[in-house]
Amino acid sequence: MYAAKEPRSVRLGFGSTEFDVEGRYVEAEFRDVTVISVYFPSGSSGPERQAAKFRFLAEFAPHLARLRASGREIVFCGDINIAHKEIDLKNWRGNRKNSGSCRKSARG
C-alpha cells in the first residue's frame, strides 16, 4: 500500500491463523479513514483452494463486520477473485468451468 501521508498505524493480517502468514491483508489507519487492502484467495486451481477460499471468507466476514461497526469511514480495496456475472470476466466463456467464476446458468 502506498500513501502520500503516513498513517497513524499499520496492521498486517486480520487475526487469521491460517491466512495471515500469506500476507493477504494490510490495514492503514489515517485520521479520518481506515484503508484496507485485501487479496482474496483464488479457488481456480482446484477443490482444495476453493475450500481454502470459503474458509477465508468465513473468517474475514466477521472482521469486516467489526470494521463497519467501528463507525469509522472504511475504504476497502483489493483483488477479490469473485465473478458473479459474465460481464465480470474478460474471458467468461473460457472460465465457465473454473471454480469461483460465473456459470452459464448465472447469466442475467
Give the count of beta carbons closer than 10 Å to the beta carbon of residue 46.
10
Q: Is 79 among the catalytic positions?
A: yes
- Residue 64 contacts residue 71 (beta carbons within 8 Å): no
Which is the catalytic residue, given 20, 32, 79, 88? 79
Provide φ and ψ at 20, rounded to 5°.
-65, -30
Residues marked active site are found at 79
